[in-house]
Amino acid sequence: MSPLKPLFPILLLSLVMVASPLPAAVTLESFTFPTVAEKQHFKDLIGQLRCLVCQNETLADSDADLAHDLRAEVYEMMTSGKSDQEVIDFLVNRYGDFVLYKPPVKPSTYLIWYGPFVLLVIAALLLLRAVGRQRQVQEPAISAEDSKRLERLLGDDTGKGKQG
């Protein structure tokens, strides 16, 4: 048995993986527009929409597979004559307000808009409370006997109690 025989399946799989074409990404360059203004309009529209995978990037910036699909879907809707609002309404109905990079202020999004401020106020109140409690703590008073004993011990450490 040759020493390469056990490695043959791994080598074959590696060769197949290298030789197979990579899936084509739907980049902005893959879309064709009759005018530069329409291309900019498309970029502006997908700049208002959030990537549902990345969550901190717009569809224009994301490289996730779902973002590629959503860009293609937005492109299809735009080329079929849908207005921006129709495209946005479709995506909001499908994915919720989360798909909007700047969701509207309404009861269902209050937590998104006001939650950080509420947490900041709570943190400030807890900090003030902790500082107030710390100021109220006083050093415990020690008895006269403990005070004399402490002076004796400290005096011995400085060398006053022991001469030569």
Each residue of 139-161: pLDDT tens digit?
777 888 888 898 888 886 555 54
Q: Phi then psi for 161, rounded to 5 degrees? A: -75, -20
The 10s digit of each residue's pLDDT in 68-122 is 999 999 999 999 999 999 999 999 999 888 888 888 888 988 887 899 999 999 9
Instruction: Check if the beta carbon of residue 60 is closer than 8 Å to that of residue 46.
Output: yes
Least confident of 24-38, 57-71, 118-132: 24-38
Q: What is the pLDDT of residue 124?
A: 96
Q: d(Cα 17, Cα 23) in Å, to the nearest integer?
A: 12
Q: pTM to 2 decimals?
A: 0.55
Q: What is the pLDDT of residue 44?
A: 92
Q: What is the mean pLDDT of residues 111-136?
A: 90
Q: What is the mean pLDDT of residues 117-129?
A: 95
Q: Which residue has the higher pLDDT, 7 or 60?
A: 60
Where do the domains of the chain lie?
23-104, 105-135
Q: What is the pLDDT of residue 86?
A: 94
- For residue 83, give both structure tokens: 């207005």
Q: Which fold has domain 23-104?
A: Helicase, Ruva Protein; domain 3 (1.10.8)
Asked if pLDDT for residue 20 goes beyond 50, the answer is: no
Q: d(Cα 46, Cα 42) in Å, to the nearest integer?
A: 6
